């Protein structure tokens, strides 16, 4: 019994010590409610309409179904958010800026233009009689000449005969004054002055090679004849420009016209004189709109007494916006906006330590120079992508998020899945399978884009065959064909802007492949080339069936896409090692 009493005593002491050491602290430490934290960031969506995103449960505003908790990925991101690595950000040169109403304080509109000659000051030196140029005293275009300067000497049979008539008529002027006056008048019509006529009469000799003098001062802008040429009466010899004043011709888009009026003050700058600004005034606004470019020409007269402006020089004008920013709306650079159909979208960088992005639809107002007013969708302090927007959009598409071409988000459907989707939605009276929107362009442009696509297929096949040297040749062919794509075929301004951005990215990737003989590096750039060419074909089309294919193991198990003319998988990222690894994700027609 004594033995058991000792054991019981030890146990009791242990319980008391455990309560003293651990029990007290556990009761004082506040418990962390994980459910509460989760619920704070929880979003709610519709299983049938994943574009719906609410901060609290309820009914779907489209179909009336109960909302369900939105899934987040392993990084804690919401359904339509995605993240890029810092390395990808650097390679694509992604740049962002903060939306700020303060950017509108100056309220100036910037225009691009070019210096041209002042047509009102131009003159053409012509020949007033026919003949052969015996000597031309003007050596080169750009030479300065003064009024009265000898320009050329001309042998003219007609003028030779007229001088002989003058000498004969001078001897008969007392008896036949009418004949004498008629001969003198004829010579004056050929721009001979009284001194020259008097000299011919006094000497009694005919001038064989007759001099031609400049009638104005200026700069020779064009030589229209050469020494030894035969010329006709009234034929132009030289084009002479007075460059003491020049014109600055600037392009104004159709929706900007009401911001300008004649007499407005303009500040003009040029890269040639980076720290200087030159004042001018609006002298003329073209009353006729160019139907191809949708622009009118605005003219500014500039003083050029110091000869700083050269015809052909690019310049920029800064003009006060007459309409002002009455609603104090925010403005963003035009490079930040993507268009498809009537939709305008931007990409928002979330306020996190990691580069997390999400697409947002916005409503645009007027275009002010290189910026747009934003009427809805953005607020002060939002951080948006301003450079590399197409790269961000391609990343969103690859990760199945909302994007410019896929406004619903989610998995990109194959042709078979799209068919099933149409059958499923019959009960909902809506077809959600047609998620891609295409901009209408000319057949000529589509054919030119198809040539780029055909060169891309050659590159893809060489990567499948693991032939780095032929891959270089194929990438060079892509560069040649993309340089032949005529942007003038894109009459829609938004289509034009989209193609300029995509063209730049495709050229950069193809150029990088052409300069590397390491097939691993080539495949890395091929991944970026594919994503941007997919965007281009989705946006503009090539009038043929194109398969968008995907390998989940490429790109360090993150997956990568490519284009193909056939449904059969031939993997360009692994070649013979895993030739058939992949699947068709979408069929473009």
> What pLDDT is attached to residue 48?
52
As a 3-state breakdown, the chain gives helix, strand, coil percent values, each rounded to 5, of 35, 25, 35
Q: Would you give the DSSP letter of residue 481?
A: H
- Number of neighbours of residue 585 by Cβ within 10 angstroms: 19
| Helices of type H across 190-275 | 194-203
What is the DSSP annotation of 519-556? HHHHHHHHHHHHHHHHHHHHHH--SS-EEEEEETTHHH
Burial class (CB in 10 A: 0-12, 13-18, 19+), 406: buried
Structural domains of the chain ordered from first start: 40-71 (no CATH), 83-107+327-410 (2.40.420.20), 108-119+243-320 (2.40.30.170), 123-241 (2.40.50.100), 443-588 (no CATH)
Tell me the average pLDDT across 137-157.
89
pTM for the predicted model, two decimal places: 0.44
> What pLDDT is attached to residue 284?
94
Q: Rounded to a whole number, what is the distance in angstroms from the first to the last CA of the chain? A: 93
3-state secondary structure of 218: strand
β-strand pairing of 560-564 with 546-551? antiparallel
Residues 465, 458: Cα–Cα separation, whole Å = 11
Q: Which residues pair with 132 in a beta bridge?
A: 155, 230
* Sign of CA pseudo-dihedral 565, 570, 573, 575: negative
Does pLDDT of 222 surpass 80? Answer: yes
100: phi then psi, degrees, rounded to nearest 5? -145, 125
423 pLDDT band (50/70/90 cuts)?
very low
CB half-sphere exposure, 289, CA atoms < 13 A: 11
CB distance 355 to 318 below 8 Å: no
> What pLDDT is attached to residue 136?
92
Tell me the average pLDDT across 335-346.
79
> What pLDDT is attached to residue 341?
62
Residues whose CB falls within 8 Å of the CB of residue 296, separated by 6 or more in sequence, listed in order: 251, 252, 254, 257, 285, 286, 287, 288, 289, 290
Does pLDDT of 582 surpass 70? Answer: yes
> What tens digit of pLDDT does each residue of 83-134 get?
877 776 776 678 888 887 644 445 678 888 999 998 888 888 888 888 899 9
> What pLDDT is attached to residue 71?
53
CB distance 323 to 258 below 8 Å: yes
Does pLDDT of 209 surpass 80? Answer: yes
Quote the mean pLDDT of the chain: 79
More confident residue, 527 or 88: 527
Residues 206, 155: Cα–Cα separation, whole Å = 11
Does pLDDT of 201 surpass 90? Answer: no
- Number of neighbours of residue 185 by Cβ within 10 angstroms: 9
- Alpha-carbon dihedral of residues 124, 129, 133, 137, nearest 10 degrees? -40
Q: Please state which of the ranges 34-48, 171-185, 238-252 shows the lowest mean pLDDT.
A: 34-48
User: Of the segments 55-64, 300-309, 431-440, which one has the largest average pLDDT value?
Assistant: 300-309
Residues 391, 400: Cα–Cα separation, whole Å = 14
Burial class (CB in 10 A: 0-12, 13-18, 19+), 19: exposed
Does pLDDT of 369 surpass 80? Answer: no
Does pLDDT of 1 surpass 80? Answer: no
Structure tokens given for 588: 């473009």
Does pLDDT of 21 surpass 70? Answer: no
Structure tokens given for 585: 């994700």
Place of tokens 């002010």: 368
To which H or E segment does residue 168 belong? helix 157-171
Tell me the average pLDDT across 468-478.
92
Across the chain, how many H-helices and E-strands are there? 14, 28
Burial class (CB in 10 A: 0-12, 13-18, 19+), 307: exposed
> What pLDDT is attached to residue 23?
52
Does pLDDT of 406 surpass 70? Answer: no
Q: Please state which of the ranges 6-20, 42-56, 218-232, 251-265 shows the lowest mean pLDDT.
A: 6-20
3-state secondary structure of 398: helix
> What pLDDT is attached to residue 411?
45
27 pLDDT band (50/70/90 cuts)?
very low
Return the exposure string of 308-345: e unless at least 16 CB atoms fall within 10 Å of the residue's CB, then b. bbebebebbbbbebeeebeeebbbbbbbbbbbbeeebb
CB distance 409 to 80 below 8 Å: yes
Give percent of the chain with pLDDT exceeding 90. 20
Q: Please state which of the ranges 45-54, 152-161, 304-313 shows the lowest mean pLDDT.
A: 45-54
> What pLDDT is attached to residue 156?
86
Angle CA 61–66–72, to nearest 5: 95
Nearest alpha carbon to residue 152 among 209, 193, 205, 198:
209
């Amino acid at each position: 019994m004594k033995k058991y009493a000792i054991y019981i005593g030890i146990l009791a002491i242990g319980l008391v010590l455990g309560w003293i050491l651990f029990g007290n602290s556990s009761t004082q430490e506040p418990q962390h409610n994980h459910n509460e934290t989760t619920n704070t960031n929880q979003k709610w969506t519709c299983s049938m309409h994943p574009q719906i995103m609410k901060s609290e449960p309820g009914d779907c505003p489209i179909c009336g179904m109960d909302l369900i908790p939105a899934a987040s990925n392993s990084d804690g991101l919401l359904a339509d958010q995605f993240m890029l690595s810092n390395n990808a950000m650097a390679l694509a040169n992604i740049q962002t800026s903060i939306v700020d109403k303060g950017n509108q304080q100056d309220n100036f509109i910037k225009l691009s233009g070019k210096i041209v000659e002042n047509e009102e000051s131009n003159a053409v030196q012509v020949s007033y009689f026919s003949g052969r140029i015996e000597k031309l005293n003007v050596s080169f275009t750009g030479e300065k000449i003064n009024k009265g300067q000898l320009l050329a000497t001309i042998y003219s049979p007609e003028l030779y005969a007229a001088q002989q008539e003058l000498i004969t008529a001078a001897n008969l002027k007392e008896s036949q004054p009418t004949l004498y006056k008629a001969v003198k008048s004829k010579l004056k019509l050929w721009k001979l002055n009284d001194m020259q006529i008097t000299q011919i009469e006094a000497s009694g000799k005919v001038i064989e090679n007759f001099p031609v003098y400049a009638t104005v001062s200026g700069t020779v802008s064009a030589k229209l004849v050469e020494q030894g040429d035969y010329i006709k009466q009234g034929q132009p010899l030289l084009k002479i420009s007075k460059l003491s004043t020049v014109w600055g011709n600037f392009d104004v888009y159709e929706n900007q016209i009401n911001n300008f009026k004649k007499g407005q003050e303009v500040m003009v700058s040029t890269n040639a004189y980076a720290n200087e600004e030159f004042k001018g005034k609006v002298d003329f606004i073209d009353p006729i709109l160019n139907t191809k470019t949708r622009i009118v020409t605005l003219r500014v007269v500039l003083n050029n007494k110091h000869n700083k402006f050269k015809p052909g020089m690019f310049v920029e004008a800064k003009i006060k916006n007459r309409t002002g920013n009455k609603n104090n709306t925010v403005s963003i650079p035009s490079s930040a906006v993507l268009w498809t159909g009537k939709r305008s979208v931007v990409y928002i960088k979330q306020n996190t330590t990691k580069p997390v992005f999400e697409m947002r639809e916005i409503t645009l107002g007027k275009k002010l120079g290189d910026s747009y007013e934003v009427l809805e969708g953005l607020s002060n302090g939002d951080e948006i992508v301003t450079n590399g927007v197409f790269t961000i959009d391609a990343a969103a598409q690859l990760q199945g998020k909302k994007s410019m071409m896929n406004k619903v988000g989610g998995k990109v459907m194959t042709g078979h899945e799209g068919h099933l989707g149409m059958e499923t939605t019959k009960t909902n009276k809506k077809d959600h399978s047609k998620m891609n929107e295409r901009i209408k362009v000319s057949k000529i442009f589509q054919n030119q884009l198809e040539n780029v696509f055909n060169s891309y297929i050659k590159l893809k096949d060489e990567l499948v065959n693991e032939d780095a040297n032929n891959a270089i040749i194929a990438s060079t062919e892509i560069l040649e064909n993309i340089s032949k794509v005529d942007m003038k075929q894109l009459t829609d301004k938004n289509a034009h802007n989209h193609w300029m951005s995509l063209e730049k990215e495709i050229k950069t990737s193809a150029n990088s492949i052409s300069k590397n003989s390491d097939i691993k590096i080539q495949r890395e750039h091929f991944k970026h080339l594919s994503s941007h060419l997919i965007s281009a074909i989705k946006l503009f089309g090539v009038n043929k069936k194109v398969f968008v294919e995907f390998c989940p193991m490429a790109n360090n198990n993150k997956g990568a896409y490519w284009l193909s003319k056939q449904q059969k998988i031939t993997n360009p990222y692994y070649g013979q090692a895993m030739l058939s690894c992949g699947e068709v994700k979408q069929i473009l027609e």
